[in-house]
Structure 1
Amino acid sequence: MSGERDPFGEVPPPDPLRLVVADDNPVVRAGLTALLSGREDLEVVAEAADGRKAYEATLAHLPDVVLLDVRMPGVDGLTALPHLVPLTAVLMLTYSGESDIVHEALRRGANGYLVHGEFTPDELVTAVRDARRGRPHLTPTAAGRLLAQLRAGGTGDSASGAASGRRWLNAGPTSTENLSQLQPDMAQSVSGRSTYGLSAREAEIMELIASGMSNQQIAATCFISEKTVKNHINRIFAKLHSTSRSEATAKWLGTRRGPARDGGDRW
């Protein structure tokens, strides 16, 4: 048996999941691209600053998932959404958590609705992977808006909205479980790794540091100021007994393979 050829030894790895990131804020786009492209099974094939460019990029690159902001100049996300849904899975990724916007996005075929600041990097990656499988995800604000509409019931438009919400919740085999799946609990997302006493928010920011994001990108992704990011980093460095981003990243990832790409500079 030892001399026999392994029939599975040359099986190529699966193709990466291909993404288009659509957001009018270039810092948010860059941050999301850096975060997602750092995963072996994900590839950002294009960025777009509005709905029209998102549609054009989808036609050109045929991605598996589009991450789509709501409020963009020109063609906004809700306007582009019905044109994107026949082509690929669409995951709303936005700061807009208003009830009517959440409901309309889901009614028009979005595979999920994530509000910035309510998910960790690992939870975003899980939602992206599940979007391709047809498993929807909602962050707490979107889930709350949808549940409120379901409870309202009533007649006329509200009854139609409730029926639409029930259809969306029943779209996937485990969709109702996902209403609470994206709670910001970094302790779960880094299970098996020492958290060094970091809080959930500090662990989230450390994950972003390890992905190569700058302070400006982290601030945009987490919807906080750069000064707040620096305060978090000071506490992270103290808890990890580190003096540079590269040293902190090495400890966080449990490796000493070499310096991170920032060359060891402090923040």
Structure 2
Amino acid sequence: MSRGDTVGDVGPAPGGVDPAHGALTQVTVVVVDDNSVIRMGLRSLLEASDRLRVVGEAADGEEAVRVVRATLPDVVLLDVRMPRRDGVQVAAEIQAWTKVLMLTYSEAPEVVRAAVDAGASGYLVHGTFAAHELERSILAVAEGSFLLSERAASAMRASWAAPSTPAAPQRPDVGLSERQREVMELVALGRTNAQIAGECFLSEKTVKNHINHIFAKLGVRTRAEAVSVWLGGAPDPGRGRP
């Protein structure tokens, strides 16, 4: 299966007949979820399959790492939101030892992407797949496939389509105070001293003092020069010298 396939498109399962002993091979699984009812339900569901064998479970992130290190399962069913360490952090650590299949209620695009970036081999959302599809998904991940449920895939597509946040404008770092930076931003917008005084609740004399200090730090003599340096992002060391 190629990256981007969904639960309904899984390939042949790895479980089969061991040619040496004629016995059905099984995929070992660890179940990780802080909800004991969900863990019990998953264990019952998986143990009904002759192709899967549950070898451990954990209720939080720290315990999950310990259990996985001790059992080295083929696949870990891993929740996202858990005490002590969340599932994304756990996935990043254990993906070197096992295949990780996220199984959670969260379908937030940033969570899906973080889990995939952390090394998860798949992402399923509770309530969006049938019981037999969970077995097929586990077997596919154990085989080396990557899969996303349709809801997780939609979340990923939404994150790709989301506009990127514009970078904050760069301003020269010349040691201006927060108030001086505020005043300089208003100067750059073309505000007069009186207008700046009104917007910042300062006297015009105080505004003028701020501007004098700003000009000294920027190494300029005029408002035009100050705006040019401020918006350009770097002061000119030679500017303002006689």
Report the TM-score when normalising by structure 2: 0.58
Pairing 1:67–2:67 present = no
CA contact (8 A) 2:46 2:54 kept: yes
Aligned to 1:143, which of 153, 156, 162?
153
Contact 1:127–1:136 at 8 Å: present in 2 too?
no
Tell which structure's C-alpha radius of gyration is larger: 2
> 2:41 maps to what in 1?
31
Give the drift of 1:12. 2.3
Which protein, 1 or 2, shows the higher relative CO under an 8 Å CA cutoff with sep ≥ 6? 2
Which residue pairs with 1:259 in the alignment?
none
Aligned residue among 66, 85, 102 for 1:92: 102
Give the gaps of 5 or more residues in structure 2.
1-17, 168-242
What's the TM-score once normalised by structure 1's chain length?
Answer: 0.53
In structure 2, the residue matched to 1:190 is none
- In structure 2, C-alpha distance between the alignment counterparts of 1:95 and 1:134, rounded to whole Å: 24
Q: Which amino acid aligns with 2:139?
A: R
User: In structure 1, the residue corresponding to 2:39 is in which secondary structure?
Assistant: helix
Letter in 1 for 2:109: S
Contact 1:36–1:125 (CA under 8 A) maintained in structure 2: yes
Cα drift, residue 81 of structure 1: 1.1
Root-mean-square deviation over aligned CA pairs = 2.1
How far off its partner does 1:32 sit? 0.2
Maintained 8 Å contact 1:21/1:66: yes
Change (3 A) 1:85 1:9: closer
Structure-2 change in CA distance of 1:32 and 1:152 (3 Å)? same
Q: Secondary structure at the match of 1:109?
A: coil
User: Closer, same or farther in 2 for the Cα pair 1:9/1:75, shift >3 Å?
Assistant: closer
Give 4+ residue runs of structure 1 displaced > 6 Å after superposition.
none
Give the secondary-structure state (helix, strand or coil) at the position aligned to 2:57.
Answer: strand
* CA–CA distance in structure 1, aligned partners of residues 149 and 166 of structure 2: 27
Task: Give how far 1:76 is off.
Answer: 1.4
**SS where residue 66 of structure 1 aligns?**
strand
Equivalent residue in structure 2 for 1:124, among 117, 134, 158? 134
Closer/same/farther in 2, CA of residues 12 and 50 from structure 1, 3 Å limit: same
CA contact (8 A) 2:89 2:118 kept: no
Take 2:152 and 2:100, find their aligned partners in 1: how far apart are those partners? 15
1:114 aligns with 2:124: yes
Identity of aligned residues (%): 42
1:156–1:131 distance in 2 versus 1, CA, 3 Å: farther
Q: For structure 1, which runs of at least 5 residues remain unmatched after alignment?
A: 1-7, 158-267
Q: CA deviation at 1:156?
A: 8.1
